Amino acid sequence: MKLLISNDDGIFSLGVRALANTLAEAGHEVTVVCPDRERSATGHGLTLHDPIRAELVVGIFHSAVTAWSCSGTPADCVKLALGALLDRFPDFVLSGINHGSNLGTDVLYSGTVSAAMEGMIEGIPSVAFSLSSHTSKEFDAAALFAKTLVAQLCQQPLPEAMLLNVNVPPVKPEEIAGVTVTRQGIRRYIDTFEKRVDPRGKTYYWLAGEVVQDVEQPTHLHLPDDLPTDVQAIRDKFISVTPLQYNLTDPAGVDSLQKLGLDSLRSE
């Protein structure tokens, strides 16, 4: 299979090397296009007012991997690859393996998820992979699951272009409880801004804060309440697989607004 891999941790991150090398060793045709530096939490930002530069990278990946370093965002990387660097569209767009989880509302900020989302927007099945720890460097379990999942999807393709958001618990492979399909949970943060002063005496602010994972579990109009959330699955040491879409229309909201009669209003 022809695979395009990107990320938001940058071209030199351990996670993308583990993912790309594992899949290349499995016989897939792998092209990597990643930011030239860390671009975490950039969301689906695009570079519109500056040039985007790309350079071939040699010596840090498996010899069968073609790798590019890109000056843009994760979404830029995928757009550039699909529009300029590849001779044809890949069979899959993969993103990661991110160093840190992408659970619940994290997906709205995540460059990792946005890189995969860009693939899905172009009609390509896409998967975002994250290791749910900022400290663990054990990417083997996540990389092996990625190999298994890609092999499975080759044999049994998804019924339509879809984005799968995969989070892997930071434990040894033998300690993983299993794999479960999940729904997006809620992950809230207590944000704090640390006020600091730079060497020139100017004030700046550094965003910090603490995650609060279990504030509430959301209900969903079309999904059973007993379907676990991604947050819950990781807590229970399961690999979480959540299908995502880019259509953010709220069906319940449409129904509520129609009942309010807003569609009958006229501008003055």
Among 117, 151, 232, which Cα is nearest to 186's? 232
- The pTM assigned to this predicted structure is 0.90
What is the average pLDDT score of the chain?
Answer: 90
Q: How far is CA 26 from the centre of its chain?
A: 22
Residue pair 104/185 in contact (Cβ under 8 Å)? The answer is yes
Cα of first residue to Cα of last residue in the chain, in angstroms, is: 57
**pLDDT tens, 162-179?**
899 999 999 888 899 999
Q: Which amino acid is at 189?
A: Y
Nearest 5°: phi and psi at 158?
-65, 145
Helix, strand, coil share (%) of the chain residues, nearest 5:
30, 30, 45
pLDDT at 93: 97
Instruction: Tell me what pLDDT residue 197 has.
Output: 92
Specify whether the CB–CB gap between 121 and 166 falls below 8 A. Answer: no
Residue 267 pLDDT > 70: no
Q: Looking at the domain covering 2-184+223-254, what would its CATH class be?
A: alpha beta
Q: For residue 35, give Cα distances in angstroms to 162, 179, 193.
A: 24, 30, 27
Q: Taking the alpha carbons of 251, 239, 99, 97 in that order, is the dihedral positive or negative?
A: negative
Domain positions in the chain: 2-184+223-254
Per residue in 94-121, pLDDT (tens digit) is 999 999 999 988 899 999 999 999 999 9
Distance CA 97, CA 246 (A): 21
| Higher per-residue pLDDT: 255 or 234 | 234
pLDDT at 215 over 60: no
Structure confidence at residue 226 (pLDDT): 79
- The answer on pLDDT for 198 being more than 80 is yes
Lowest pLDDT segment from 1-10, 98-107, 155-164: 155-164
